[in-house]
Structure 1
Amino acid sequence: MSSAGKHKIRLLVVDDHEVVRAGLRTVLATFGRFEIVGEAASLAGAIQETERLKPDLVLLDVRLPDGSGFEAARELRARQRGIKILFLTSYSDDEVLHRVVEEDADGFLLKDAEAGELAATIDKIMAGESVLDASVTRRVLEHLRSANDITAQDKIALLAPQERRVLAQLAQGKTNKEIALAVGLSDKTVKNYIANAMEKLQMNRRSQVAVFCVRHGLVQAE
């Protein structure tokens, strides 16, 4: 399908290694729907280039010479409403993964992800989904599973059984279509269940719901 006449997704790449930035530029250039509008090698550079270029999405390393990617993400979101952040890093230790979830990241991928997975992740994020690298999802869930907040029990009690089933699938990182197949419902019904559940939980992002479900036992260990 031709991308002529369509708005390309404008990307800013932030990484302190030039070879990584060059590699991402080369890989993403093979997909006609993306346009890398700029690069930065530091937190300060990320802020400057974001304000200048107004990208749709920033591919952001979690560790930068003058600060963390998490600091950068907060700054970028404060300065540009609606900007999307995809953390793309070689680090997969538990501390980093926990921070990614706590910061309510739009997405997280390891740098060794395949080109197709990277492109698909960007597409999902731009469609409003939160995406966590499948290879580290289990570790994040296990890391969060031990936490428990008694004050959340009243919210859980408001959830209908079918809503709990749907949210348990959502917390595993599945898309609405994948959830629909897993629980035998239509995409539209799944979307409605998620919307109703998010209202009951007083949350507005899928990643927040996923963390909540794990912390309060709505996702069972396999």
Structure 2
Amino acid sequence: MKPENKIRLLLVDDHPVVRDGLRRIQELEPRIQIVGEAGTVLAAVEAARRLVPQMIVMDVRLPDGDGIEACRRIKSFLPETHILFLPSYADNRFVLASMEAGADGYLLKESGTQRIVDAIFAILNGGTVFDPVVRRDAPGNLPSGAANPLNSLAEREARVLAEVAKGKTDKEVAVALGLTTKTARNYLDHIFTKLGLHTRTEAALLYARFSEKSRWPD
């Protein structure tokens, strides 16, 4: 594949040994080209501005700040660039902050190279990706008497949202539920309006947080 047709990937991690391991991504998947590396927030922002990557795989904790701030700054001038966080462990504070900053996924480093590659393509195809540990541990305890937003959904809407929370595209949601792609998209538009959502990442985290306490459990 010609270099200009490859997926441009920027790696951001302050540990050289981690970046060495992540270079296996382009060995495993020839459609991906690592165009740069950075180890700090400042270097990540500068590299993103200079290289204009399609995808950034980034640690949350960096020496001069955190990846959340880097994500927010990069998204301000490269809104179409996708960002996948790759931390060492799950921290719900960072999961929710990453969602608010515009990230597209959150996987633990222990996931393995193939899982990271799969996540990159899922995100580029319009999905969101969250590590099962993150989904399981997402804050979900509602205060006594608090309304669960998922309870406002009809059963079919809840099923659509559940599939979106798995990182599926509109087409994949449609196949899973026996719908047309247009119908799945219409359901999703209605869900977003009803719940005040703006992105699939917000939808995935909302479902992770409230699904076990809803009338539509998994």
TM-score with structure 1 setting the length: 0.81
Q: Distance in 2 between matches of 1:21 and 1:121?
A: 17
Matched AA of 2:142? S
From 193, 203, 206, give the equivalent of 1:199: 193
1-side partners of 2:143 and 2:165: how far apart? 15
Aligned match for 1:87, one of 62, 80, 85: 85
Q: Aligned Cα RMSD in Å?
A: 3.0
* Contact 1:56/1:84 (8 A) holds in 2: yes
Judged with a 3 Å threshold, the aligned counterparts in structure 2 of structure 1 residues 219 and 14 are, in CA distance, closer, same or farther, namely farther
Deviation sequence 1:44-95 (CA, Å, 0-9, x none): 1001111111111111110000000001100111122211111011122333
Partner of 1:108: 106
- SS of the aligned residue for 1:129 comes to coil
In the alignment, structure 1 residue 166 sits paired with structure 2 residue 160 = yes
Tell me the matched-pair count: 216
Give the alignment partner of residue 22 of structure 2, picking from 1, 21, 24. Answer: 24
Distance (whole Å) between structure 1 residues aligned to residue 166 and residue 29 of structure 2: 28
In structure 2, C-alpha distance between the alignment counterparts of 1:42 and 1:145, rounded to whole Å: 35
Give the SS at the match of 1:16: coil
Three-state SS of the structure 2 residue aligned to 1:112 is helix
Distance across 2 between alignment mates of 1:46 and 1:149 = 44
Identical pairs, percent? 38
Task: Look up the equivalent residue of 1:197 and give its one-letter code.
Answer: I
Q: Which of 212, 216, 220 is the equivalent residue of 2:206? A: 212
1:4-153 mapped onto 2 (5 Å cutoff)? 4=2, 7-140=5-138, 143-146=139-142
> 2:22 is matched by which residue type in structure 1?
L
1:137 CA displacement = 1.6
The SS at the match of 2:110 is coil
- Per the alignment, in what secondary structure is the counterpart of residue 35 of structure 2? strand
8 Å CA contact 2:53–2:81 kept in 1: the answer is yes
User: Do the aligned partners of residues 177 and 79 (structure 1) sit closer, same or farther apart at CA in structure 2, a change above 3 Å counting?
Assistant: closer
8 Å CA contact 2:128–2:168 kept in 1: the answer is no
Which has the higher mean CA deviation after the structures are superposed, 204-213 or 171-180? 171-180
C-alpha separation between the residues in 2 aligned to 1:55 and 1:170? 25
* TM-score computed with the length of structure 2 as normaliser: 0.82
